Structures are given as structure tokens and as C-alpha cells.
Structure 1
Amino acid sequence: MTAQKPLTDKIALVTGASRGIGAALALQLAEAGAHVVAVARTVGGLEEVDDKIKAAGGTATLVPVDVKDMDGIARLALALNDRYGRLDVMVGNAGILGVLSPLAHAEPKDFDSIYAVNVKANWQLIRTMDPLLRAAPAGRAVFITSGLAWAGRAYTGVYGSSKAALDELARTYAAETATTHVRVNLFNPGPTRTRMHASGWPGVDPETLPAPDEVAKAIVPLCLPSCNDSGKVYDYRAGKFLTFKAPA
């Protein structure tokens, strides 16, 4: 008898699912039995992911929407509620690096765009998907952060501060769902062989970095009903959770 997959009959939403870590994770969640709701702007990329999911025997719903589209995310939540009445897994993976520059040289439009994707879009996910996560027997939310959120590294201030804001949103949401079946964590992949990393650090040999599918494998356990940790950051390079405690 074939053992049941850990996410059989579960609904898993992944943003930024058309490439990189998001695409790899969407495939792996489908292989674990979940029906994947794949969200991204790029239709072609989503279709490629869908082909891989189908080839692996999985299923997906493709949602070609920009995460900055607040109304679009709200409509998606309504559609998921009407169709499933719950959401078992939510992964806020979509993110942009923007232009690396001194803070004093950052353009307001770039600042606004980075915060719109990295912070506001994830807040909208929390706003709209919270009732669905709470309706699931074991709702799991994971947000992709960055070590630059606490590194204070030159030229990465806008991106790093946006990830610091995301960290606070996620930890607050974890505290607000502490008495429910929802668990909320952050995942820091570190430098990964993605287009986004290459755009910021073109001098780094991509072959020295882990591939997205390697990194995504470490995210899957945070999406399972068996994950009882909440309010923590899992650091891929360290291979463990990092616990942040608020001052007394």
C-alpha cells in the first residue's frame, strides 16, 4: 500500500511561483499531495510550472495576478473561500530586490515599489487569507525573508528594511494566532542561484550557490501540519530555527 502524501487534499498558495524558489516550492508542494494555487505575474512561467506539476501527477490552479494588485488578491481570497472554504498553506514568496544604492540616492518610486511587493502585498495576504487559514485544521503560513533584514549592509537598505518590516508583520501575526491552529514562520534562504540574486551580485559565480530546488526542500517541512513552531526564522544555511525574543 502506498503511504499517503503529507499534504494530500490540502490547498497551498504560493506567490512568486513562476520562477526561482517559488516555482521549485510549488512543484514540491504538489509532489507532497497539495493542490497548488500558483500566483505570479508571468503567465508563461506559470504554465511551465503547471506542466511540471502535471508531469509529476499533481494539480494546480494558475493565478496570473500582480501581488501589488490589492483588489486582485482580495478577489482571490473570495474565490478560494467559495471553492474550498479554507487555505491550508500560504507562502509569501514574491519579492523584489530593486536597485542597490546608498540610501541617500534611492529614488522614491523604487522605494515605493519595493515596499509594495515585499511588505504591503504580504500584509494584504494576511488580511484576506487569515479567515481561510483559521478555517483549516492546521493552517501554515511561511514568508520568505532575508539575512539583509538584520545585516545593516551598505547599499541594501531599502530592500533590507522592507524585509525587516516583513519579519515584524510575520512575528506579530504569529503572536495573534498563537491560540489557534495557525502557525506562522519566516524562512531565510540566503544567497541562492536565482535571477534576483544575479541581478544584484552579477560577479558571484552562480554555480557556488544552492539551486532553488535544494532551498525549497527545506521550506516544505514548515508547510506541513506536523510543524508546530511559530514566530521563528528558519535559516537555510544554519539549518535551524533562529528565535527572536521581544524584550521584557
Structure 2
Amino acid sequence: MPTILDRFSLRDRVALVTGGSRGIGRAISIALAQAGAAVGVSSRKAEACEAVVAEITKAGGQALSVPGHAGRTEDIDRTVTAMMERFGRIDILVNNAATNPVFAPITDFTEEQFEKTNSLNVRGPLLFTQRICRAWMTEHGGSIINVASVGGIKGDPFLGIYGATKAALISLTRSLARELGPSGVRVNAIAPGLIRTDFARVLVETPEIHDRAVASTALGRIGEPEEMAGAVVWLASDAASFVTGSVIVLDGGALA
């Protein structure tokens, strides 16, 4: 009889992580590999992808560098094709790539900034999901994990555009869970709070924002990238086989 630890294993499965070369994405890529999956590491910079792949392979894992822009259709198609050619399957998709080019009042953002944010944060996950379902998951099942944000659940001043795209991603997660469930595809999301990454550097390194964030959490601190990875491994695994359409909040109790 399989043990509970067996149900967490990702052996013989293939995962693709967008934005997988740094911060939360890097932590997720490494954790999935440690759980036994072969991992495609995708982000815009090839050197950054290759560095994570080297770290995984040095530890005895299997990984592939698949650089590309997660908001561009041609790059999305090329990434999925490369994964299928190398591994012949994609069982796990982690839509982690995101951007937030503006930290400013709603009156100050430009249409270009909005389009850039929406393209990467919403359009990219939708197209990756579509392409991978066509290539593999619709026939064989799988697990899709979208990296949203507590900003998609609660309001934050100066983060309106980013929050709107993450709220859209949460809505997409729930709709796709309903749509893809009959095909054996589970779709869930995690919603991190403030995490110590380059992406959130302006927030982490602004004393007023940092201190307010720390004071708002039940744990009295901000999070680390590695603390996001465990939930993703769980959602990707058979240990979460009856979980779909859920949003797992990982914010140290800020919304408690």
C-alpha cells in the first residue's frame, strides 16, 4: 500500500515552471525536482535558466532550460514544443511569471504599463494552459498551479493594476477548474503575501511598507521564496488529488 510520502512523490512526471529562474519560481523549480519531477525552467534570460538547471542536475535531478517571454505567443509555442520534444509530456504547469512595472496611483499609470502587466500576468497563463492542454493534459490529465497574490484578494494602494491582474488569474483558476475537471486536470492557485524577492524589492526595502507588512502578519515577518514551494509540490502531487479550484493563501496570516 502506498504511504502518504509516496503520494507526495513526483517521480516520472514532467513540470514546466514559467518565471522559474529566480525568486519564488526558482524555489519552485528546485522543489519540484527534489520531489522527483523533470523540470523545464523558463524565463526571459537563458543564462538564468541554465544556472537553475545546473543546480538541479548537480543534485541528481533532471531539468531543461527553455528560455522565452511568457507573454509572447511565439515564445509560449516554442517553449511547449521544446518540452514535448524533450520529454514527450507535461504533467505539471506552474504559471509563475509575472510583472509589476508600476507602483503608483491609478491616476499615473499608462496604457502601455497596463497592457504589459495584463499580457504577462493573465494572457500568458491562459495561453500556456491552452497550449499544454492541447498537447497533453486534455487526454492524460495533469495539475496546473497559478501563482496569484494576496493583492488579487484584498485592495492595496498603488498596486491596483497588479492586483486586478491577479484577481483575474484567481477567477481564471476557478473557471478552468470547472472546465478541465472532467479531463482529469486540476487547477489551483497560491496567493503569496509579501515575499523577500527581487520582484518585491521596492516593497521589502521601503521601511514604512516593510514594517507595515510585518505588523500585519500573524507570524510577525515577511516570507521567503522556499516557503512557497511546499504548497506547489503538494498541489502538483497525488496528495492533493481531490483539490481543484482552490486558492491557497501563503501570507503569514496577514488575511487572518
TM-score when scaled to structure 2? 0.85
Between the aligned partners of 1:220 and 1:103, the Cα distance in structure 2 is 36
Which residue number corresponds to residue 234 of structure 1? 248
Which residue number corresponds to residue 246 of structure 1? none
Q: 1:219 aligns with which of 232, 236, 251?
A: 232
Between the aligned partners of 2:139 and 2:26, the Cα distance in structure 1 is 26
Q: 1:115 aligns with which of 115, 118, 123?
A: 118
Between the aligned partners of 2:121 and 2:72, the Cα distance in structure 1 is 13
Which residue number corresponds to residue 165 of structure 1? 168
Which residue number corresponds to residue 129 of structure 2? 126
What is the identity percentage for the equivalent residue pairs of Structure 1 and Structure 2? 32
Greater share of helix: 2
Which residue number corresponds to residue 23 of structure 2? 20
When the two chains are superposed, the root-mean-square deviation of aligned CA atoms in Å is: 2.2
Residues 196-242 of structure 1 deviation map (CA, whole Å, 9 limit, x = unaligned):
11124422279942221122122210111331211110112368xx9
**Secondary structure class of the residue paired with 2:55:** helix
Residues 130-159 of structure 1 deviation map (CA, whole Å, 9 limit, x = unaligned):
1312233x4000000111112122211100
Alignment of 1:90-101 (within 5 A): 90-101=93-104
Which residue number corresponds to residue 86 of structure 1? 89
Between the aligned partners of 2:35 and 2:94, the Cα distance in structure 1 is 15
Alignment of 1:1-248 (within 5 A): 6-131=9-134, 132-136=136-140, 138-203=141-206, 204=210, 208-227=221-240, 228-237=242-251
Between the aligned partners of 1:238 and 1:176, the Cα distance in structure 2 is 31
The AA in structure 2 aligned to 1:40 is S
TM-score when scaled to structure 1? 0.88
Residues 103-141 of structure 1 deviation map (CA, whole Å, 9 limit, x = unaligned):
1211111111111110111111111111312233x4000
Residue 11 of structure 1 contacts residue 89 of structure 1 at CA under 8 Å; is this kept in 2? yes
The AA in structure 2 aligned to 1:93 is N
Residue 148 of structure 2 contacts residue 169 of structure 2 at CA under 8 Å; is this kept in 1? yes
Residue 14 of structure 1 contacts residue 39 of structure 1 at CA under 8 Å; is this kept in 2? yes
